[in-house]
Structure 1
Amino acid sequence: MNAINFTEQQHTLQAAYAALREQAPQLRAREIARRLNVSEAELVAAQCGVKSVALQGTPQHLFRGLPAFGRVMVLTRNDWCVHERHGYYEQVEAEKAIGLVLGKDIDLRLFFNYWHSAFAVEEGDRRSIQFFAADGVAVHKVYLTASSNQSHWEQYLAENRADGIKPLIVNPYPPESADRHTADPQALRADWLALTDTHGFFPMLKRNKLQRLGALEAAGADLAQQVASGAVEIMLESAVAQQLPMMCFVGSRGVVQIHSGPIQKLLRTGPWFNVLDPDFNLHLDTTAVASSWVVNKPTSDGWVTSLELYAANDELIVQFFGVRKPGQPEDKAWRALMCSLCARPLAQ
């Protein structure tokens, strides 16, 4: 595609975007992209409602420039849940395919192989750096705030601006190849009971060539138990009432973003159940929750329990754990809360 054709395509998409925006001004970019049968990255690249600059360089290189912005708001989401956290990028490891941010405010697991394109975006007076996977779906966004180092913006663009106009190529990912059901539940259960760390759960799924939800269904109710659809609201309300610290994990294809600590303010707005704290916001579409599970894993520090929510397509929406550090047992109050959601006893 040459520059002229690309410009024509941009103008066509801009017109369609403007028409839909006029009909439904409340729609978010992700939903607009879905309705126009394009990706969000294509909207950004075509300057639909925003001013954007394509960035070049490896995702690791681009990411390592983010701490200089100072205090920011970072956003990671999937189709059903949005996780927003204010703070600083601290203890950044971004050299290899898998990276980490381990600061007290911003806590991330980064899977750079899925980071495909990046843009500096201005929407009115709001500035952000946005990263997208190969399918054009956002993996991570970084918003500057009144507390950010705004002076770093021009330097960041000068160092990373892409040369010339290059069409954005978007390619969907193939469907997951792991099985939904296991032919040997007992082998899976034995593998599960042999876990010594929660981080061993994903390798266990890989060994058994099994989807996550399929493993929960096959493990047995003492290890993974489906609970009522309203369990997440009960849990969040109990956590507020008890000021019970929790960990909340939300993932895109390329990032898992984590909040650790107590929560304070809850608010229902239509289908969305929200945490609205000064430094942490969570927006969960509860109408999209097809199943809810309490998951029980053995570790060298004792049993660790979580609440996990799944969408109708079997994808994980969000996970909640009690706050704990390696070498420490799970908080007894969190364990009691998880057990209270279950109709049958958990292994202990």
Structure 2
Amino acid sequence: MAITDLPSTATSLAERWTQFKLDNPKTRIRDAARQLGSSEAELLATQCTGQPDAPVVRLTDDFAALLAEVPTLGRVMALTRNDSVVHERKGPYQKVSIKGAMGLVLGDDIDLRLFMSHWQFGFAVDENGRRSLQFFAADGEAVHKIYLTEDSNAAAHDALVSRYRAAEQSGDLAMQPTPTSAPETPDADIDVAGFREGWRALQDTHDFFGLLRQFGVSRTQALRLGPPELVQRLDNDAIVRGLEAAAASELNIMLFVASRGCIQIHTGPVRRLVATGPWFNVLDPDFNLHLKLEDIAETWLVKKPTTEGLVHSIELYDVQGRNLLLFFGKRKPGIPEQEAWRELVSQL
């Protein structure tokens, strides 16, 4: 149903949201927010009534302290997504550390890089018994969600929500517009020779982002202008073929998916691969990935020099140049890349 089809009596956002859910019970809140000209955070906030039975509780913005207590919940499901990819990983939060604007969760199962300057709003949500902690950027877009599972410590969850419950439970949010990306510098104004020399001289994959800033290039511009022997454009079905090959060989891989406030990483094998309409899915017991194939505009094989040799990745981008997913072979700093992974990417 289009927004214009909603009854004229449904004037407030809360009323429109209630009516929308009745008319579109299977539509996910991210899509509903877009159709209602709102954001996820604003829709949830309409249910912050402050009453004991309210399905949504606004949390304080002391996110560092709150996240430090998430390990008490035991086994949960961590969810990070962008418009085109959803990354869900089950396990406990372990080794949580936050220093200023940067945070880490370094468990064997849940592995996160947190960018806390983008964390603005937090809510505890009860969706007909499915309980979660959800966090949003200043424009109301989700940055990370934590869902309880049947194995979670529900009492610890309730205690955490009680401790971090905000004093003010109104639905009013101080929203800010979505940040816009800086315009890309024309290729002709880039020191391409210097950029390529810097790329070839890399010794650590993490230095790549500093190189982009140094030369003022965007991610996809870097791939266009990078050293020809270190970048290669692939067909957009390479991700499906790569995942199928990894599943067939039981190869341990790494899949990175990012929101503005979080990068979530799966390390390990993938096994059950299922195509459903426009989505290609990994449906394993502890790891789910949902990738909207039609949103892939560019796929690249990228090679970055390190002190242990080249590191190869498959990188997906949408039509706006936003990264959708990074696909690596499993590796740790100081350890060379798996030969089986190099063989896999050579076949793509």
Aligned partners of 2:270, 2:218: CA distance in 1, in Å?
Answer: 31
CA contact (8 A) 1:72 1:142 kept: yes
Q: What is the SS of the residue equivalent to 1:94?
A: strand
Question: What residue is the counterpart of 1:307 in the other structure?
Answer: 314
> In the alignment, which of 226, 232, 236 is matched to residue 225 of structure 1?
232
Aligned partners of 1:11, 1:42: CA distance in 2, in Å?
Answer: 15
CA contact (8 A) 1:53 1:119 kept: yes
Question: What residue is the counterpart of 1:151 in the other structure?
Answer: 155
Question: What residue is the counterpart of 1:240 in the other structure?
Answer: 247
CA contact (8 A) 1:178 1:211 kept: no
> In the alignment, which of 100, 107, 113 is matched to residue 109 of structure 1?
113
Question: What residue is the counterpart of 1:255 in the other structure?
Answer: 262
Question: What residue is the counterpart of 2:25 in the other structure?
Answer: 25
Aligned partners of 1:226, 1:154: CA distance in 2, in Å?
Answer: 49
Counting matched residue pairs gives 331
Please report the TM-score for the alignment, with normalisation by the length of structure 1.
0.92
Deviations 1:284-319 (A, max 9, x none): 000100111111100000000000000111100000
1:284 has 2:291 as partner? yes
Give how far 1:181 is off: 4.2
Question: What residue is the counterpart of 1:5 in the other structure?
Answer: none
Question: What residue is the counterpart of 1:44 in the other structure?
Answer: 44
Question: What residue is the counterpart of 1:137 in the other structure?
Answer: 141
> In the alignment, which of 79, 99, 104 is matched to residue 83 of structure 2?
79
Aligned partners of 1:58, 1:285: CA distance in 2, in Å?
Answer: 34
1:215 has 2:222 as partner? yes
Residues 1:152 and 1:321: Cα distance change in structure 2 (over 3 Å): same
After the TM superposition, which residues 112-127 of structure 1 pair with which residues of structure 2 at under 5 Å, given as runs? 112-127=116-131
CA contact (8 A) 2:33 2:40 kept: yes
One-letter amino acid matched to 1:282: L
Deviates most, 194-203 or 177-186: 177-186
Give how far 1:178 is off: 5.8
CA contact (8 A) 2:200 2:227 kept: no
> In the alignment, which of 335, 341, 344 is matched to residue 337 of structure 1?
344
Question: What residue is the counterpart of 1:185 in the other structure?
Answer: 192
Give how far 1:180 is off: 5.0
Please report the TM-score for the alignment, with normalisation by the length of structure 2.
0.92
Question: What residue is the counterpart of 1:346 in the other structure?
Answer: none
Give how far 1:165 is off: 3.5
Give how far 1:275 is off: 0.3
One-letter amino acid matched to 1:21: K
Aligned partners of 1:203, 1:178: CA distance in 2, in Å?
Answer: 18
Deviations 1:81-112 (A, max 9, x none): 00000001111112321011111000000110
One-letter amino acid matched to 1:171: Q
- Give structure 1 stretches of 5+ with no counterpart: 1-9, 342-348
1:173 has 2:178 as partner? yes
CA contact (8 A) 1:53 1:120 kept: yes
Deviates most, 326-335 or 271-280: 326-335
Question: What residue is the counterpart of 2:5 in the other structure?
Answer: none
Q: What is the SS of the residue equivalent to 2:100?
A: coil
1:34 has 2:34 as partner? yes
The percent of aligned pairs where both chains have the same amino acid is: 46
Give how far 1:11 is off: 7.5
Give how far 1:172 is off: 1.9
Question: What residue is the counterpart of 1:56 in the other structure?
Answer: 60
One-letter amino acid matched to 1:26: K
Aligned partners of 1:328, 1:181: CA distance in 2, in Å?
Answer: 38
CA contact (8 A) 1:181 1:215 kept: no
Aligned partners of 1:39, 1:287: CA distance in 2, in Å?
Answer: 23
Question: What residue is the counterpart of 2:51 in the other structure?
Answer: none
> In the alignment, which of 91, 97, 103 is matched to residue 95 of structure 2?
91
Aligned partners of 1:40, 1:119: CA distance in 2, in Å?
Answer: 11
Aligned partners of 1:198, 1:106: CA distance in 2, in Å?
Answer: 21
Q: What is the SS of the residue equivalent to 2:345?
A: helix
Aligned partners of 1:83, 1:28: CA distance in 2, in Å?
Answer: 15
Give how far 1:25 is off: 2.4
Give how far 1:340 is off: 1.8
Question: What residue is the counterpart of 1:195 in the other structure?
Answer: 202
Question: What residue is the counterpart of 1:345 in the other structure?
Answer: none
1:319 has 2:323 as partner? no
Question: What residue is the counterpart of 1:3 in the other structure?
Answer: none
Q: What is the SS of the residue equivalent to 1:233?
A: helix
CA RMSD after TM alignment? 1.6
One-letter amino acid matched to 2:215: N
Q: What is the SS of the residue equivalent to 1:177?
A: coil
